[in-house]
A = this chain, B = another copy of it.
Amino acid sequence: EKLTIGLIPADGIGKEVIPPAAEVMDAVLPGKFEFITLPAGFELFQQTGVALPDETVETLRTKCQGALFGAVSSPSHKVAGYSSPIVALRKKLQTYANIRPVSSPAVRNAKNQTVPVDMLIIRENTECLYIKKERSETDENGQKVCYAERKISEFASKRIGRVAFDMAVARGKLREQQKQQGINVAWTGKPKVTIVHKSNVLSVTDGLFRESVLAVKNEKPEYADVDVEEQLVDSMVYRMFREPEKFDVVVAPNMYGDIISDGAAALVGSLGLVPSTNFGDVVVIGEPVHGSAPDIAGKGIANPIASIRSAAMLLENLGFTAEAAKIYNAVDKLLSEGKTLTPDLGGNATTKDVTAAIISQL
């Protein structure tokens, strides 16, 4: 039977890159999916006063086996009543893990060596500063003093730790298979989980994050073979640029994960390449890591690769591993040929050109 996939293009280039991703899904499994387009976004808020309609959430929860989310515009000023719909969606559907693979066969590190990069960033997706508990007070001089609360729980930290260790083990197994098939793998060592935190300042909250993730290592015998290391978030950003080849799975609280994954995108050349999934127990939502890019919206030149790769990740989650691999390979081939590239990668192809080229390779 057909699977129902919710499409939430939202704002800006979100509207230009989500349809291509659906096209590619349809091309690789013709007729398998029914796509339904669901409203959300800042533009919707401006028209209707609602950024994330309840019906969108309920449709995703009750009717959809998967979804693709585009991008949301951020108002530059505080707009009364507006709150980011993607943050709300992640919370409402408890997609507790944001999974962001960043890979490229050849990245020049800061030491001017060309190295393969194959990082998987696992970002906790429900708490940290994203709980949006903020308050405003007035001091004795009539000036504003505002506070935000940052929440780190043992429950959510262990939950994300398990995702990290499970993925590290799975990636390790896959690499073993690939090695046996004579395929070159970027990472040759034992699986590794890098825990990112700032416990030298936040000894209670980030202390809990690190302890919780570390404790997960003892939960299953198969985790024993996973190396664990820690990086303070500032040092992580530094090292990621100095020696990106030294990271395998990286797990981080919500905001550090947000920052690190954008930084990692610079490593591989463009935010337009980096996919993600918001992963939980109810529904999986594929989502390009890039934003709504108001500067290029409407020009037809947005890079659809991040969304197309997000669609492939979604397919993997739905059990269509072979079809997902076809998409990854088609994208990799297009990138290594370097002929059909959008402007963010130095080319002059359009969104349509890139999509057509990928579909023709499937």
A interface residues (Cβ-Cβ under 8 A, vs B): 74-76, 78, 83-84, 87, 108, 110-112, 129-130, 132, 134-136, 139, 141, 143-155, 198-205, 207-208, 230, 232-235, 237-242, 255, 258-259, 261-263, 265-267, 269, 271, 291, 346
- Once A202-B129, A230-B76 are accepted as A-B contacts, the answer to whether A237 and B237 lie under 8 Å apart by CB is yes
Of the residues B78, B154, B291, contact of A145 by C-beta under 8 Å: B154
**Copy total for this chain:** 2
Evaluate contact between B110 and A146: CB separation under 8 angstroms: no
Evaluate contact between A205 and B238: CB separation under 8 angstroms: no
Evaluate contact between B208 and A234: CB separation under 8 angstroms: no
Q: A139-B155, A238-B271, A259-B259 are in contact. List 11 more A-B contacts (CB 8 A).
A: A83-B203, A110-B266, A110-B269, A111-B346, A132-B202, A145-B155, A146-B151, A146-B152, A233-B259, A235-B291, A241-B266
Q: In the complex, how many angstroms separate the beta carbon of A111 from the nearest chain B beta carbon?
A: 7
Q: How far is the CA of A265 from the CA of B149 in the complex (A)?
A: 30
Evaluate contact between B291 and A203: CB separation under 8 angstroms: no
- Once A148-B202, A150-B129 are accepted as A-B contacts, the answer to whether A263 and B241 lie under 8 Å apart by CB is yes
Evaluate contact between B144 and A153: CB separation under 8 angstroms: yes
Main secondary structure of the interface of A (DSSP, over half): mixed
Evaluate contact between A204 and B146: CB separation under 8 angstroms: yes
A74 CB contacts on chain B under 8 angstroms:
199-200, 232
Q: In the complex, how many angstroms separate the beta carbon of A33 from the nearest chain B beta carbon?
A: 31
A148 CB contacts on chain B under 8 angstroms:
149-150, 152, 202, 204-205
Evaluate contact between A143 and B155: CB separation under 8 angstroms: yes
Closest CB pairs A-B (n = 9):
A134-B204, A74-B200, A241-B266, A234-B262, A143-B154, A237-B263, A238-B262, A144-B154, A148-B150
Q: In the complex, how many angstroms separate the beta carbon of A269 from the nearest chain B beta carbon?
A: 7
Q: In the complex, how many angstroms separate the beta carbon of A214 from the nearest chain B beta carbon?
A: 10
A112 CB contacts on chain B under 8 angstroms:
108
The interface centre, meaning the residue of A146, A149, A242, A266 with most chain B CB atoms within 10 A of its CB, is A146
Q: How far is the CA of A201 from the CA of B84 in the complex (A)?
A: 7
Q: In the complex, how many angstroms separate the beta carbon of A241 from the nearest chain B beta carbon?
A: 4
Q: How far is the CA of A154 from the CA of B130 in the complex (A)?
A: 22
Evaluate contact between A241 and B267: CB separation under 8 angstroms: yes
A145 CB contacts on chain B under 8 angstroms:
151-155
Evaluate contact between B291 and A263: CB separation under 8 angstroms: no
A269 CB contacts on chain B under 8 angstroms:
110
- Once A204-B134, A237-B266 are accepted as A-B contacts, the answer to whether A153 and B149 lie under 8 Å apart by CB is no
Q: In the complex, how many angstroms separate the beta carbon of A233 from the nearest chain B beta carbon?
A: 6
